[in-house]
């Protein structure tokens, strides 16, 4: 695309530096020199800035709008506040949040639902998957490879395939619509990927460590908790964040299994988008209420998330 004009700009710089300098440059220095020319090219920078703006401005628009009075939102675009900020004419308010949280939409309660759904739906699959990953990695038993491949293969099953039979089942057991059915469903759907990822991390731990513990007479449970668990904390954090974001942001499972009084934020917001399409003051505030927790978690723990994603994507 617009990288083309970058070529002439980078050429003179890189050619000068490489042969004339007597001192050997480090890896990083060489790369820095190589890229420097490219980014100082105005077209490349412009492309990067435009992309960054396209990816940021819509969210900023939502955020700004959610703090504007309802009447202003209906009358003018959110960008019109920008001159007003400097003159102090712009009016901001928390009314939209007040109305979204405690008004007829009662998102405060829905927020609690989302928490109640998410925490067990993260803890349960990770624990179950950790044990299974240990079993697949460090216990010899007949049919081990076949079963592991089967679990791995089930990752690709779209959850749509399972919804109707599961719902019928929950109805028969009298637990349809309850938190229990939502927790169980989320846990099941997370398992194949969780087992696969944690197994990959577990396989990376040196065999000698486990063998040494075994020689010392430690059983599997002891090896798992004393030797492996401490080493796996980063992996668990990575998948934990992954699963947290997945469950918190999920629409399909919540929509299918949760009764209206236990629905999560995504379901409530999606419903509001349908029923009160033009009420942007409520919609923007509601959307931001739904976004704030995953955004905080994500920004604080981004490093773990990226590591987990790379492990999953590159190996998977």
Q: Please give the C-alpha separations between residue 309 and each of 197, 233, 241, 303, in angstroms, as whole numbers.
A: 10, 15, 10, 10
Tokens of 15: 């050619």
Q: How many residues does the chain have?
A: 316
Of the ranges 87-95, 96-104, 200-208, 282-290, which one interacts with other proteins (CB under 8 A)? 282-290
DSSP state of 262: G
Distance CA(272)–CA(278), nearest Å, equals 10
User: Which residue in 97, 183, 201, 257 binds other proteins (CB under 8 A)?
Assistant: 183
* Of residues 18-37, those binding other proteins (CB under 8 A): 18, 27, 30-32, 34-36
| Residue 237: closest CA among 292, 316, 302 | 302
User: Which residue in 235, 283, 304, 308 binds other proteins (CB under 8 A)?
Assistant: 283
DSSP state of 223: I
Judge whether 177 and 259 are in contact, CB under 8 Å. Answer: yes
| Residue 197: closest CA among 135, 126, 144 | 126
* Of residues 62-81, those binding other proteins (CB under 8 A): 62, 65, 73-79
* Of residues 196-215, those binding other proteins (CB under 8 A): none
Check residue 234 for interaction with other proteins (CB under 8 A): no
**Could you tell me the smallest distance in angstroms from the CB atom of residue 21 to other proteins?**
14
| Residue 120: closest CA among 279, 248, 251, 283 | 248
- Binding to other proteins by CB under 8 A, coded x per residue (else -) over 242-281, reads ---x--xxxxx--xx----xx---x--xx--xx-----x-
Check residue 171 for interaction with other proteins (CB under 8 A): no
Of the ranges 44-52, 85-93, 204-212, 229-237, which one interacts with other proteins (CB under 8 A)? 44-52
User: Which residue in 69, 90, 123, 276 binds other proteins (CB under 8 A)?
Assistant: 123
User: Which residue in 69, 220, 231, 237 binds other proteins (CB under 8 A)?
Assistant: 220
């Amino acid at each position: 695309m617009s990288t083309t004009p970058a070529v002439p700009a980078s050429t003179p710089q890189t050619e000068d530096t490489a042969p004339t300098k007597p001192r050997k440059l480090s890896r990083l220095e060489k790369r820095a020199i190589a890229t420097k020319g490219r980014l100082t090219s105005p077209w490349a920078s412009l492309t990067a800035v435009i992309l960054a703006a396209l990816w940021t401005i819509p969210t900023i628009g939502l955020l700004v709008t959610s703090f504007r009075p309802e009447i202003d939102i209906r009358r003018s675009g959110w960008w019109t506040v920008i001159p007003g900020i400097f003159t102090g004419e712009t009016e901001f308010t928390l009314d939209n949040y007040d109305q979204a949280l405690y008004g007829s939409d009662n998102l405060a309660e829905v927020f609690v639902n989302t928490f109640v759904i998410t925490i067990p739906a993260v803890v349960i699959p990770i624990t179950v998957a950790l044990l299974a990953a240990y079993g697949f990695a460090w216990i010899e038993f007949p049919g081990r490879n076949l079963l592991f491949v089967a679990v791995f293969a089930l990752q690709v099953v779209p959850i749509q395939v399972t919804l109707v039979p599961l719902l019928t089942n929950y109805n028969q057991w009298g637990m349809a619509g309850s938190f229990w059915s939502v927790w169980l469903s989320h846990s099941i759907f997370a398992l194949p990927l969780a087992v696969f990822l944690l197994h990959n991390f577990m396989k990376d731990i040196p065999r000698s460590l486990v063998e040494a513990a075994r020689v010392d007479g430690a059983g599997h449970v002891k090896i798992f908790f004393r030797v492996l668990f401490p080493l796996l904390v980063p992996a668990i954090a990575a998948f934990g964040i992954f699963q947290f974001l997945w469950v918190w942001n999920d629409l399909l499972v919540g929509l299918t299994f949760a009764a209206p009084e236990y629905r999560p934020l995504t379901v409530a917001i999606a419903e509001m988008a349908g029923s009160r399409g033009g009420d942007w003051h409520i919609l923007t505030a509601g959307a931001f209420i739904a976004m704030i927790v995953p955004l905080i978690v994500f920004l604080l723990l981004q490093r773990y998330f990226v590591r987990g994603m790379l492990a999953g994507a590159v190996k998977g």
